[in-house]
Amino acid sequence: MNTVVFESPLGLVRVSGDVDGVSVISCTDVSQTEGASVNKPDQAMAEPVQQAVQQLQEYFAGSRQTFDFLLNPAGTEFQQTVWKALLDVPFGTTQSYLALSRRIGDEKAIRAVAAANGRNPLWIVVPCHRIIGSDGSLTGYAGGLWRKKWLLEHEGAFAKSSQLSLF
């Protein structure tokens, strides 16, 4: 397993994976990464990891809206179904948890969908940040609601203003 850590506007991003694909992308505050060192992908690293780092850096720079490297997240069949559905939520848009539940074919599974969304191991790339409450609130984001707001503003889903409800 190869792991790269790099700085982003939202903290340190950790990308892990191998030749079968990227399995984890996460972000933490710099203050919470005691002992973690920022590194760069090198030629010995698996190609999907190298591609992920490059594409995420392009995303943060505002020059990329989609990702096309190989993904390999570990999860249950249900979680995989939810994560695949998340991939269909376009850049610059949002969708409610209820709408996502309906898209996977089970409106009553809204709590399970929300739980699977919260266990998404591929931050940004599988865009769980684009899922919001039916009332437009930014509920349920493991990376912190301030990061979710930043990502949605970065993508143009919301104007940079106080229009966004954090609760």
Q: Tokens representing 136? A: 């437009």
Does residue 27 carry a catalytic annotation?
no
Catalytic residue among 12, 49, 122, 128: 128
Work out whether the CA dihedral 107, 104, 71, 91 comes out positive or negative: negative
User: Two tokens at 163?
Assistant: 């229009």
Give the rounded distance of the alpha carbon of 157 from its chain centre: 15
Residue 87 C-alpha from the chain's centroid: 10
Query: Cβ neighbours of residue 29 under 8 Å, at least 6 residues apart?
Result: 11, 12
Catalytic residue IDs: 128
